[in-house]
Chain A
Amino acid sequence: MAALGDLAQLIRSKNAGPWTLTVDIMFADAQTFEQVVASGAVTPATVGPLLGVDPDVIDIFNYAPANAIKFSFPRRYPNGHPEDTDAFGGQQFAPLVDLEIPSPNTEPRQPAAAGTLR
């Protein structure tokens, strides 16, 4: 097992317009990106409960050109609304940092990659 925050080179969140939040999880190389995608540990069903967001309204994108997993979901309030707590949306990724990602040696398809992980 490794924490998502240890595998990624950047986990960030930001507004995508006033009504949508987006989270980018970016990896240094294609191998790590593919390993995390293949682990099945980063999906709407796994991140939804961590963020308090209904998985059905989360759109997820595995974006290979940047070795990144992205997901987007509606904000509870538009940014800057009196009930909003984070106008730029920049701190909304925090619960994902400690998300546990199974090591690839539990993945029958990529057993050789285990030794390269720290």
Chain B
Amino acid sequence: MSNTISYISPVGMLGGGFTESYFNDAVARHRVDFIAVDSGSTDGGANNLGADLPFNSREAIKRDLQILVRTARRHRIPLLVGSCGGSGGNYNLGWVHQIVQEIAAEDSLDFRTALIPAEVDRDVLVEKYRAGRIRALKHAPQISESTLRETRRIVAMMGAEPIIAALEGGADVVLAGRSSDAALFAAIPLMRGLPAGLAWHAAKIMECGGAAVAQMTKPEGMVCTLTEEYFELEPVSPDQSCTPVSVASHALYETANPLVMLEPGGAMHLEDVTYEAVDGRRVRVRGSRFEEQAYTVKLEGAALVGYRSQVFGGITDPAILRDFDAWFEQAKAGALHAAVRTYGQETVDSCSIAYRVYGRNAVMPARPAGIGNDHEVAVLLLVTAPSQELAHAIAYQTGHTMHHFPVPRWHGLVSNLAFPVTPHVTDLGPAYSFVLNHVVELEDPLELFRINYSAEYQEA
């Protein structure tokens, strides 16, 4: 038989959940060579990386991992988990590892785990920067040496090579820190010498689990069979199907360019790809290319911006809404004035006070329908300050002022904001922002990534 490989992606994001029986049936029916699952996303903003916050609950991660670890060990096939814990930072990687160890102990499973941290040594980064080997991507912000020194967390998005190295080092389970979603799924096919274009393109689709099906009523996984000539996709769920358009459409999802996608070591080119229905559920893909380039990995950095507090209140007084903008401008000025009077100009200048105005029928849900949608707004007041205490203080002061800010139509003390939550000043904790959209050129794909091995369970 020619070089062929099958693999399964149970779900687009670890902890998202999938049907165990469908998954196990697909693993057995396709005799898959490995299981891989992505665990990361930047959609939640930089806080996940900056503040060491996992995306999903421990319970949800453990439930999915339990099924995956048991199945992988039963069939003696590798399990690969990418961007562990959401951000792929070191804390989140350790957090996932602890869950894996717990599963190993509970099930008396003996295996070898590889951990590949993705946080980068700052001296190495500064050296790269000085050597001109950190390059800005499109829409990148300005950076300096101090960005690389002072940013709270910086991870590098690893390519396929560290994952391959971990497998060559005898790993049964690979837990990767921040990794290119596609690299995780491309690693073993590349290791087995399958065509890079097909391996990468298939991986780019597979990292989203079953997202490329025609109708994703509930998330289930996908099986990919990759040969020298083509790759073929089949949904894990017997109730779901792929069509040429559903698979082709996936090249649009969360990508800036549907035809060319940059990865560590090169770019996927999808200009000549054909999508062909094998039957009502399976689609065969050909013609994907991979063009090698200088080896780079992308950097992600989360910097502390400040601490935040918010006040959220609804307004439905027609006297305010009739000329809302004029009133609101005055109320904002009044709120700022009150804050400056109490805390001083310099302190207030160290904060950002931002307002957003929302609205649709939340203040009086029992009001009869049919009155229109213009009878309320909600004001979200967001304060970002150098400390949580100050953010709270400024949010309280400005919110209080706006709450009682005069309405020209009325004479006397008014209370303008309907607070749905108490206490009405909510502290949001530290706020982080992404500060890097850069790649770093590497001499060796492994140079930033050290692999640690851990023997799980192992009875004495």
- Please report A residues at the B interface, Cβ cutoff 8 Å: 14-20, 22, 24, 26, 59, 61, 63, 65-68, 70, 72, 74-75, 77-85, 87-88
CB pair A67 B306 closer than 8 Å: no
Pairs A–B under 8 Å by Cβ, sample size 28: A15-B42, A16-B255, A17-B437, A18-B300, A18-B434, A19-B137, A19-B139, A20-B256, A22-B254, A59-B257, A61-B259, A65-B244, A65-B248, A65-B273, A66-B258, A68-B258, A70-B258, A72-B256, A72-B257, A74-B138, A78-B141, A78-B433, A80-B44, A81-B433, A82-B382, A82-B433, A84-B45, A88-B43
Do A83 and B354 have beta carbons less than 8 Å apart? Answer: yes
- B249, A82: Cβ atoms under 8 Å? no
| A78 x B46 contact (CB < 8 A) | yes
Q: Which are the 5 A-B pairs with shortest beta-carbon distances?
A: A80-B45, A65-B248, A74-B139, A78-B434, A66-B249
Query: With A18-B434, A80-B434 as given contacts, are A59 and B256 in contact (CB-CB < 8 Å)?
Result: yes
Asked if A82 and B431 make an inter-chain contact with CB atoms under 8 angstroms apart, the answer reads: yes
Question: Could you tell me which residues of chain B, from 107 to 143, have a CB within 8 Å of some CB in chain A?
Answer: 137-141
Interface residue from A15, A16, A82 paired with B384 (Cβ < 8 Å): A82
Say yes or no: A63-B252 contact (C-beta < 8 A), given A19-B140, A19-B437, A20-B138: yes
Confirm or deny: B409 has a beta carbon within 8 angstroms of a beta carbon on chain A: no
**Which chain A positions have C-beta within 8 A of B275?**
65
Which of A17, A70, A75 has most chain B Cβ within 10 Å? A17
In the bound assembly, the distance between CA atoms of A88 and B41 in angstroms comes to 10
The smallest C-beta distance from A14 to any residue of chain B, in angstroms, reads: 5
Number of A-B contacts (CB under 8 A): 109
Where the two chains meet, the residues of B that have a C-beta atom closer than 8 Å to any C-beta of A are: 42-47, 137-141, 244-245, 248-249, 251-259, 273, 275, 300, 305-306, 308, 352, 354, 356, 382, 384, 431-435, 437
Given A18-B42, A19-B140: A82 in contact with B306 (beta carbons within 8 A) = yes
Minimum CB distance partner of A74 in chain B: B139
Q: Is the CB of B252 within 8 A of A70?
A: yes
Q: How far is the CA of A22 from the CA of B258 in the complex (A)?
A: 10
Name the contact of B44 in the complex, choosing from A67, A85, A87 (C-beta under 8 A): A87
Shortest Cβ gap from A100 to chain B (Å) = 23
A82 pairs with B42, CB closer than 8 A? no
B255–A81 CB distance below 8 A? no
Given known contacts A78-B46, A82-B352, A84-B45, A26 and B434 CB-to-CB distance under 8 angstroms: no
The answer to whether B258 and A63 have CB atoms under 8 Å apart is yes
A21 to B257 CA separation, bound complex (whole angstroms): 11
> Chain A residues with Cβ under 8 A from B258's Cβ?
61, 63, 66, 68, 70
> Which residue of B is nearest A62, CB measured?
B258
